[in-house]
Amino acid sequence: MVLKSPPKRKVIVGLVWGDEGKGKVVDELTYDGLTEDENTLVVRYQGGKNAGHTLIFMLNGKWHKFVTHAAPSGIVRGTDIAIGPRVAFDPIAFVKELNQANELLDGYKGRILVSNRAGICFEYHGLIDAAVESAGKGVGSTKSGIGPFYEDLARRTTRITFQDYLSERFPDRLKQVLEHKKAEMEAMGISVKGMLERLVETHKEPRNRLKDFGVDLEYRMTEYMKNGANIIIEGAQGSGLDRDMGDIPNTTSSELLAPCAFSSLGLRRQDFEIIGVEKIYPTRVGDGDFPTYATDSFAQVGDLNGEFGASTGRRRRVGYPDWVMARRNAWLNECDGIVLTRADGVQDRQMKVCTAYDVNEKVTTEVPVSLTGVKPVYGSNVYQWKLWEGHRNLADPLNEPLELTKARADYVAGGREALPQELRRFVDDHDRFVGCKTIGVSIGPKSGDTIYF
Ligand code: IMP
Ligand code: MG
CA–CA distance, 117 with 139 (Å, rounded to integer): 28
pLDDT 10s digits, 202-218: 999 999 999 999 999 99
Strands 40-44 vs 53-59: parallel, antiparallel or unpaired: unpaired
Report the pLDDT value the prediction gives residue 310, as an integer from 0 to 100: 80
| pLDDT, averaged across the chain | 93
Measure 286 CA to ligand 1 centroid, in angstroms. 7
Distance, CA 237 to ligand 1 centroid (Å)? Answer: 7
Q: Distance (Å, rounded) from C-alpha 186 to C-alpha 182?
A: 6
- R_g (Cα) of the chain, nearest Å: 22
Best of 132, 141, 151 to mutate for ligand 1, by most ligand atoms within 8 A of CB? 141
Q: To test ligand 1's pocket by mutation, which of 237, 244, 279 has the most ligand atoms within 8 angstroms of CB?
A: 237
What are 90-127's pLDDT values in tens digits?
999 999 999 999 999 999 999 999 999 999 999 999 99
Active site residue 164: no
The tens digit of pLDDT for each residue in 325-357 reads 999 999 999 999 999 999 999 999 999 999 999
Q: For 121-144, what is each residue's pLDDT tens digit? A: 999 999 999 999 999 999 999 999
How far, in Å, is the centroid of ligand 2 from the Cα of 46?
Answer: 14
pLDDT tens digit sequence for 279-304:
999 999 988 999 999 999 999 999 88
**How remote is the CA of residue 19 from the centroid of ligand 1, in Å?**
10
Reported pTM: 0.95
**What is the per-residue pLDDT for 5?**
44
Per-residue pLDDT band at 183 (split at 50, 70, 90)? very high
Q: What is the pLDDT of residue 10?
A: 94
CB of 253 closer than 6 A to ligand 1?
yes
Q: Over 90: is that where the pLDDT of 393 sits?
A: no
pLDDT band (50, 70, 90) for residue 426? very high
Phi, psi of 178 (to 5 degrees): -65, -35
Q: Which of 27, 53, 69, 242 is catalytic?
A: 53
> Can you name the residues that pair with 233 across neighbouring β-strands?
11, 43
Would residue 69 show up in a list of annotated catalytic residues for this protein? no
Integer Cα distance of 11 and 44 in angstroms:
10
